[in-house]
């Protein structure tokens, strides 16, 4: 059976039959432009060698399309009604597993059951490529992308996701711009990121109040090796940006344990070629790499 090509009229009819409605609090905005799903799967190069994690499958239209290309798909949805619809639309497809779960166990952790499902799919064929491909609910996009990037062993070969345009701009933002933040540094330190397609509200139902974008993120093993201790790097970046309005010398004086005066910090920064008169958004990725490596030497047990 060919994948369902969901249109607004199809979704309205389906939801009316089931007595359900899109949940704004869950970030449910369904793609109704029949070309965008094709854009997503083409950018992700979905094929038989893939194990796809899809978060927020909705009615299962993208799920079915990816499965029809031979990919194994783990589709995860928090909404029981959507999980049921996705399971029904993919019934009979042995390469699809639908989970009614929250993909996150917390802000900084992916649900263990979701990870186990991905691991199981990869174990059945070690040659499979792990990818995140999804029309992501806006409220889960940042923590999901970040947690997958820093995960110690489940490392996606690629992520192609539909997200809020504001977040897409943050992923590729440069230092000293309004969009530059901790997620900019994390993504650019570990991967290359680009906007595949900008999307107006009209391609969704219901229409969101903001623009969206399809983005492609390609984690890079060489980038990760350069970062070294990824969890530590992530911690340093988050902590610095928590005090983004302060000069770095003030932020670091409260870092770690023991006595470390601002005078000590000034000397230490100078020794490592870093200026204490920079704020979080003024430090580029290379600067954060130097900072994290130097801090790990200074606080080996932190």
* pLDDT at 266 (0 to 100): 87
In the DSSP assignment, the letter for residue 93 is -
CATH number at residue 89: 3.40.50.150
Instruction: Check residue 108 and give left, alpha or beta (phi > 0: left; psi -120 to 50: alpha).
Output: alpha
Asked whether residue 276 carries a pLDDT value surpassing 80, the answer given is: yes
* pLDDT at 253 (0 to 100): 81
List own/partner pairs for 234-237 with CB under 8 A and 24 or more apart. 234/146, 234/150, 234/186, 236/288, 236/291, 236/292, 236/295, 237/182, 237/185, 237/186, 237/288, 237/292
Same domain? For 178 and 241 the reply is no
Please name the residues in contact with 208: beta carbons below 8 A apart, sequence gap of 6 or more: 29, 138, 164, 201
Q: Using DSSP, state whether 61 is helix, strand or coil.
A: helix
Same domain? For 179 and 58 the reply is yes
Q: Distance between CA 300 and CA 267 in Å, rounded?
A: 19
Q: Which residues pair with 279 in a beta bridge?
A: 247
Q: Which residues of 155-193 are buried (b: 16+ CB within 10 A; e: fewer)?
A: ebbbbbbbbbbebbbbbbbebeeebbbbbbbbbbbbbeb
For residue 220, being part of any structural domain is answered with yes
What is the pTM (predicted TM-score) of this model?
A: 0.94
For residue 90, being part of any structural domain is answered with yes
CATH number at residue 252: 1.10.8.100
* Exposed/middle/buried for residue 239 (C-beta within 10 Å: 0-12, 13-18, 19+): middle
C-alpha distance from residue 164 to each of 23, 53, 135, 150 (Å): 17, 19, 10, 21
For residue 1, being part of any structural domain is answered with no
Q: Which residues pair with 2 in a beta bridge?
A: none
In the DSSP assignment, the letter for residue 134 is E
Same domain? For 290 and 190 the reply is no
Same domain? For 16 and 110 the reply is yes
Q: Distance between CA 28 and CA 201 in Å, rounded?
A: 13
Pick from 210, 226, 242: which residue ends a domain?
226
Same domain? For 194 and 246 the reply is no
Same domain? For 207 and 240 the reply is no
Asked whether residue 2 carries a pLDDT value surpassing 80, the answer given is: no
On the question of a cis peptide bond just before residue 183, with omega within 30 degrees of 0, the verdict is no
Same domain? For 165 and 85 the reply is yes
Pick from 186, 206, 226: which residue ends a domain?
226
C-alpha distance from residue 225 to each of 191, 219, 228 (Å): 11, 11, 5
Domain extent for 137:
8-226
Same domain? For 73 and 34 the reply is yes
* pLDDT at 148 (0 to 100): 96
Same domain? For 98 and 213 the reply is yes
Same domain? For 113 and 234 the reply is no
Same domain? For 73 and 22 the reply is yes
Select from 132, 131, 160, 171 the least CA-distant residue to 42: 160
CB atoms within 10 A of CB 280: 23
For residue 203, being part of any structural domain is answered with yes
pLDDT digits (tens, 9 = 90+) for 46-76: 999 999 999 999 999 999 999 999 999 999 9
Pick from 191, 226, 261: which residue ends a domain?
226
Same domain? For 18 and 150 the reply is yes
For residue 129, being part of any structural domain is answered with yes
pLDDT category, 6, cuts 50, 70, 90? confident
Q: Distance between CA 287 and CA 290 in Å, rounded?
A: 5
For residue 284, being part of any structural domain is answered with yes
Domain count, the chain: 2
For residue 95, being part of any structural domain is answered with yes
pLDDT digits (tens, 9 = 90+) for 167-215: 999 999 999 999 999 999 999 999 999 999 999 999 999 999 999 999 9
Please name the residues in contact with 73: beta carbons below 8 A apart, sequence gap of 6 or more: 51, 52, 54, 63, 66, 67, 90, 95, 96, 97
**Is there a contact between 125 and 98 (Cβ–Cβ < 8 Å)?**
no
Over residues 270-282, the mean pLDDT reads 90
Q: How many residues in the chain?
A: 302
pLDDT digits (tens, 9 = 90+) for 228-267: 999 999 999 999 999 989 999 888 887 765 677 888 888 8
């Amino acid at each position: 059976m060919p994948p369902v090509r969901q249109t607004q009229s199809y979704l309205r009819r389906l939801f009316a039959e089931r007595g359900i409605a899109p949940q704004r609090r869950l970030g449910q905005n369904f793609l109704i432009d029949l070309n965008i799903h094709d854009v997503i799967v083409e950018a992700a190069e979905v094929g038989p060698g893939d194990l796809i994690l899809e978060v927020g499958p909705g009615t299962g239209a993208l799920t079915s399309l990816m499965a029809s290309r031979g990919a194994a798909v783990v589709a995860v949805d928090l909404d029981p009604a959507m999980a049921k619809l996705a399971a029904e639309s993919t019934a009979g497809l042995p390469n699809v597993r639908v989970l009614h779960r929250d993909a996150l166990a917390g802000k900084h952790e992916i649900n263990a059951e979701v990870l186990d499902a991905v691991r199981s799919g990869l174990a059945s064929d070690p040659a499979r490529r792990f990818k995140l491909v999804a029309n992501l609910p806006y409220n889960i996009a940042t923590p999901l992308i970040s947690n997958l990037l820093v995960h110690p062993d489940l490392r996606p070969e690629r992520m192609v996701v539909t997200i809020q345009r504001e977040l897409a701009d943050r992923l590729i933002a440069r230092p000293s711009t309004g969009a530059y933040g901790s997620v900019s540094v994390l993504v650019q330190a570990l991967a290359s990121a680009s906007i595949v397609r900008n999307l107006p509200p009209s391609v969704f139902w219901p229409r969101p109040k903001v623009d969206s974008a399809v983005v492609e993120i390609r984690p890079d093993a060489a980038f990760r090796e350069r970062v070294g201790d990824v969890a530590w790097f992530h911690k340093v970046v988050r902590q610095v940006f928590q005090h983004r309005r302060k000069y770095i010398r003030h932020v670091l004086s409260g870092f770690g344990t023991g006595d470390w005066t601002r005078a000590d910090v000034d000397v230490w920064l100078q020794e490592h070629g870093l200026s204490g008169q920079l704020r979080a958004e003024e430090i580029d990725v290379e600067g954060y790499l130097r900072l994290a490596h130097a801090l790990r030497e200074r606080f080996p047990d932190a």
